[in-house]
Every structure is written in structure tokens, then in C-alpha cells.
């Protein structure tokens, strides 16, 4: 695997400059923070409510921003220029994900502080949050590579936002509508369940939840890589 830290850093710095000058996208980071303030002042106390702004961060910040960054590169033909440079696929994908990864972790941390949420086991939750971040970044890369413009990407992302951020709430309706049982396998739902198991000391269940999120992540990254390789060539 051909990896260069210098190249990844160059792409990260470029993305940071672009992101900080693109207010339409950069202001999205405020949304989960506002939501966190709202729930905190409304007296949030359940895990489902604590995790709503966190899962919203993943969908509306991580996936949305990543998809827009990739789609904009495609729209302006800059992605092809990057692909034609000596930067490898790994350099480009990691370089282009590093910014969103850092932003996500910062926003999730702030959200948890605003909500006053103390996890049962910080280390386990941090691991799950980091793996989840990679999953949502992968999802953003797929959305960005599938679409041709930022406009298209911002529309394509809507079902992703609904399914992954609001999906876990559907678990409550699973008794009435058994088909909704499937929602518990979403990585966003597994994240909440992981925290429940962690608080209850059910170590093996924590492991299963972490494994489910990891499997989602691996599949998403594999699809993103295949798609990226396809986009390196015209058809």
C-alpha cells in the first residue's frame, strides 16, 4: 500500500482552507450543537435523546460534509486532477477524510458536554464513536462519488440522514410493527445499545454491538474504494 503522510497532510490542509471559506457547508456543524442546547434546556435524560444529536452529527455533519467535499471535487474536475497526481487512492481518501474526522469528533465531544452526558465507559464509547465516524465518512464518500454535483449530493444525502439519525427512534415502534426490528441493526441504533449494555455491564453484548458497527464500516469502506477506483477512469 502506497501511503504518504506529506501528501495526505497537503490534501487535509487544502480541504481545511476550502471548508473554512465555504459557509454553506461549514455552518452545518452548528446544527447538532443547537439541537444539543435545545434538548439540554428541555431536560434530556434518556439515552435515546442523548444520542439523537450525536447521530444527527454523524448524518448531518460527517456524511453530509464528506459527500459535499467529494461531489464538489467531482463537479469542478479537481478530483480527477488529484487522481492524476502521484497521490495514491489511500492518500486521497485519508487526506480527504481527515478534516471531517476531526470535525466530527470535536462536534460530538461538544454535544456530549452541552447535554451533560457521562458515558458508562468512556473508552468503549470513544472507540465506538471513532469507528462510527469512519462508517459515516465512508457513506459520505459513496454519496459524493455517486452524485455529479453538490446539489445532487445534498439531495441524495436526505434519506441517509433520515434513516441513520432518526432510525433508532423507530425501535420504539417495533412491538407494533415487527418489521421495524431491522432498525436495531443500524450502526446508529447499535451505538445506543452499546451504551445501554455498557451501563448494564454486559461486556459480551458490548462486543457484539461494536462488531456490528465495525462490519458496517468495513462494508462501506470496501464499497467506497471500489467506487473510487471506478471513478479514476472514464467509461
Q: Does 18 bind another protein (CB under 8 A)?
A: yes
Among the residue ranges 13-21, 24-32, 96-104, 110-118, the one whose residues contact another protein (CB under 8 A)? 13-21
Answer positive or negative: Cα dihedral of 143, 57, 177, 214. Answer: positive
Alpha-carbon distance 85 to 80, whole Å? 9
Part in contact with another protein (CB under 8 A); list of ranges 9-17, 61-69, 113-121, 185-193? 9-17
The radius of gyration computed from the CA coordinates of the chain, to the nearest angstrom, equals 18
What is the pattern of x (binds another protein, CB under 8 A) and - over residues 125-154? ------------------------------
Least CB distance to another protein at residue 232 (A): 7
Query: Which of 92/112 has CB closer to another protein?
Result: 92
42 sits near another protein (criterion: CB under 8 A): no
* 7 lines the binding site for another protein (CB under 8 A): yes
Binding segment for another protein (CB under 8 A), chosen from 70-78, 139-147, 173-181, 182-190, is 70-78
Q: Which is nearer to another protein, 17 or 173 (CB)?
A: 17
Contact residue for another protein among 24, 84, 123, 179 (CB under 8 A): 84
Q: How many residues does the chain have?
A: 235
Least separation in angstroms between residue 151's CB and another protein is 16
Q: Say if residues 69 and 100 touch (Cβ distance below 8 Å).
A: yes
Question: Helices (H) and strands (E) in the chain — how many of each?
Answer: 11, 0
Q: Binding another protein by CB under 8 A: which of 45, 76, 102, 203? A: 76
* Secondary structure of 173-197 as H, E, C letters: HCCCCHHHHHHHHCHHHHHHHHHHH
Inter-residue contact 53 to 111 (CB < 8 Å): yes
Among 41, 46, 77, 118, which residue interacts with another protein (rule: CB under 8 A)? Answer: 77
Nearer CB in complex with another protein: 23/41: 23
* 199 vs 230, beta carbon nearer another protein: 230
Q: Is 213 exposed, middle or buried (0-12, 13-18, 19+ CB in 10 A)?
A: buried
- Cβ-in-10-Å burial (0-12, 13-18, 19+) of 196 comes to middle
Provide the phi-psi class of 77: left if phi over 0, else alpha when psi is between -120 and 50, else beta. Answer: left
Residues in touch with another protein (CB under 8 A): 2, 4, 6-7, 9-11, 13-14, 17-18, 21-22, 76-78, 80-82, 84-88, 232-234
Amino acid at each position: 500500500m502506497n501511503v504518504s503522510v506529506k501528501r495526505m497532510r497537503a490534501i487535509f490542509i487544502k480541504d481545511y482552507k476550502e471548508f473554512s471559506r465555504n459557509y454553506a457547508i461549514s455552518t452545518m456543524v452548528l446544527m447538532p450543537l443547537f439541537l444539543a442546547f435545545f434538548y439540554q434546556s428541555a431536560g434530556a435524560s434518556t439515552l435515546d435523546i442523548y444520542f439523537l444529536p450525536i447521530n444527527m452529527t454523524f448524518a448531518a455533519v460527517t456524511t453530509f460534509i464528506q459527500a459535499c467535499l467529494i461531489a464538489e471535487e467531482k463537479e469542478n474536475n479537481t478530483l480527477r486532477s488529484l487522481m492524476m497526481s502521484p497521490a495514491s487512492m489511500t492518500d486521497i481518501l485519508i487526506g480527504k477524510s481527515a478534516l471531517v474526522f476531526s470535525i466530527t469528533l470535536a462536534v460530538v465531544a461538544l454535544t456530549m458536554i452541552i447535554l451533560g452526558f457521562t458515558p458508562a465507559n468512556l473508552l468503549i464509547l470513544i472507540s465506538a464513536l471513532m469507528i462510527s465516524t469512519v462508517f459515516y465518512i465512508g457513506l459520505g464518500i459513496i454519496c459524493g462519488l455517486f452524485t455529479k454535483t453538490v446539489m445532487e449530493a445534498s439531495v441524495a444525502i436526505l434519506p441517509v440522514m433520515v434513516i441513520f439519525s432518526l432510525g433508532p427512534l423507530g425501535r420504539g415502534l417495533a412491538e407494533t410493527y415487527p418489521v421495524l426490528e431491522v432498525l436495531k441493526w443500524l450502526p446508529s441504533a447499535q451505538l445506543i445499545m452499546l451504551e445501554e449494555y455498557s451501563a448494564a455491564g454486559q461486556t459480551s453484548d458490548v462486543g457484539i454491538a461494536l462488531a456490528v458497527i465495525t462490519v458496517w464500516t468495513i462494508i462501506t469502506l470496501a464499497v467506497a474504494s471500489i467506487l473510487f477506483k471506478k471513478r479514476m477512469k472514464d467509461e
